[in-house]
Amino acid sequence: MSEEKQKNMNNSSIQETSCGELIIEKQKKETIINSLTDGVLMIDENQKIILINPQAENFLNIDGEYSLNKTLDEVSNFYGPQKLHSILGDKIDWTDKHYEMVLEEPLKRIFRVHTIPVKVKAQQSTELMIIIDNITREKNIERMKTEFVSLAAHQLRTPLSSVKWTLKMLLDGDVGKLTKDQKRFIEEGYQSNERMINLVGDLLSVAEIEEGRFLRNMTFQSMDKIIEESLVALYKVAKKNKVKLIFNHPKASLPSVKVDAEKIELVIRNIIDNAIRYNSKNGNVTISIKHDKINLEITISDTGIGIPKDQRGRLFNKFFRASNAVKSDTTGTGLGLFICKNIIKAHGGDILFESEEGRGSTFKIILPIAK
């Protein structure tokens, strides 16, 4: 064998191998695409369908073989492709976009459609990948959850209201005078019922957070006003716990923040309420506000039991309560700080804290200043 011939043979065998590898690679990719639970379509630069996986055939209810090398428009005599074409705006847009598609036939299903432009380097062209994801189940669960929350609110709160109103009217002497002992007993019952009402309220807030639709009424607010109102509401609890509330009014007027006032008040109240509840007798709660050009920072410091070092990482978890907090107050739900953190995060802010066990905690609520 001449050297030349030998060289040629080597070359061709290299080509054969790489060709074989390419085919195997291609088959692999096809197998992957075909076994995806999402529907996938590829459209080439001439807007022709060059790939359609079985799941997409199934979702759109069309024959893959038939639709290959046709445009979406050309197969839009079928219901599925026609719907897809129409939600894409009856055109092929080479951009990364999300759409929602509802197919009524053969039975009602909801899909998320994602278009992704794919650059094909070798051909210097752009293809469009269309991914179709069946989200019918998610949507149904979301709807059921909302309905459940409303129903649960109503069903749980109605008997709680009856108990609350009855006990309150008994306590107020509306049905005759009570002895001191009777009053004390009923007062206990009333407080237990209040705890249950708070728990239901917290659970509903959590459900709302988890649905991801929490902030509604965004308005420009002055934080010192919100804090003042919270302090008025908490005055009684502070007095009962023998805790002094100190508000260091800002000297200059504060820049306003754009917030859901009701939710922010909930946060402020919750954190001050914690500072009162987990304080020591004759302790203080000090509230102050400062700001720079970007953020407003509300600091709430207490002289209370503090948070054990090893439990700080879990403080904002749902249902978590620190061991010393459980001991000093049995009534908390473990949902307050979880709700607070979520509300502040949704406003683009954050809650931070520092603490020393036995000495007290300082919580910082940071909110972006409205522009």
Partner 1 sequence: MENEQNTNQPTEQGSKLAKVLVVEDDKFLRDLLVRKLKEENFEIETAIDGVEAIKKADEWMPNLILLDLIIPGLDGFEVLKQLKENPNTNKIPTVILSNLGQQEEIQKGMGLGASDYLVKAHLTPGEIIDKVKGLLE
Contacts with partner 1 by CB under 8 A lie at: 149-150, 153-154, 157-158, 160-162, 164-166, 168-169, 172, 174, 197, 200-201, 204, 208, 213, 216-217, 262
Per-residue burial over 202-211, b = 16 or more CB atoms within 10 Å of its CB, e = otherwise: bbbbbbbbee
Shortest approach of partner 1 to residue 172 CB, angstroms?
7
Shortest approach of partner 1 to residue 196 CB, angstroms?
9
DSSP 271-316: HHHHHHHTS-TT-EEEEEEEE-SSEEEEEEEE-S----GGGGGGTT
How many CB atoms are located within 10 Å of the residue 52 CB? Answer: 26
* Run of H or E residues at 257: strand 257-260
Give the nearer residue to partner 1 in terms of CB position, either 214 or 353: 214
Which residue matches tokens 């005599």? 77
Give the nearer residue to partner 1 in terms of CB position, either 104 or 174: 174
Shortest approach of partner 1 to residue 241 CB, angstroms?
22
Give the nearer residue to partner 1 in terms of CB position, either 205 or 241: 205
> Which runs of consecutive H residues, i.e. helices, occur in 213-367?
223-240, 261-277, 323-328, 336-346
Shortest approach of partner 1 to residue 158 CB, angstroms?
6
Shortest approach of partner 1 to residue 181 CB, angstroms?
22
Which residue matches tokens 């200059």? 252
- At residue 33, φ and ψ (nearest 5 deg) are -60, -40
Give the nearer residue to partner 1 in terms of CB position, either 269 or 321: 269
Pairing of strands 284-291, 125-134: unpaired
Give the nearer residue to partner 1 in terms of CB position, either 25 or 211: 211
- Amino acid (one-letter) located at 318: K
Give the nearer residue to partner 1 in terms of CB position, either 104 or 172: 172
Nearest in space to 307 (alpha carbons), one of 344, 270, 342, 359: 359
Give the nearer residue to partner 1 in terms of CB position, either 118 or 151: 151
Peptide bond into 255 cis (omega under 30): no
Shortest approach of partner 1 to residue 215 CB, angstroms?
9
Q: What are the CA-CA distances from residue 165 to residues 156, 169, 175, 181, 324 (Å)?
A: 15, 6, 12, 20, 33
Shortest approach of partner 1 to residue 200 CB, angstroms?
7
Give the nearer residue to partner 1 in terms of CB position, either 158 or 330: 158
Where does residue 243 rank: exposed (0-12), middle (13-18), buried (19+ CB within 10 A)? Answer: buried
Vertex 370, ends 364 and 371: CA angle to 5°?
140
List, as own/partner pairs, every contact residues 23-31 make where C-beta atoms lie below 8 angstroms and the sequence separation is at least 24, other chains included: none
Shortest approach of partner 1 to residue 83 CB, angstroms?
30
Shortest approach of partner 1 to residue 218 CB, angstroms?
12
Give the nearer residue to partner 1 in terms of CB position, either 170 or 337: 170
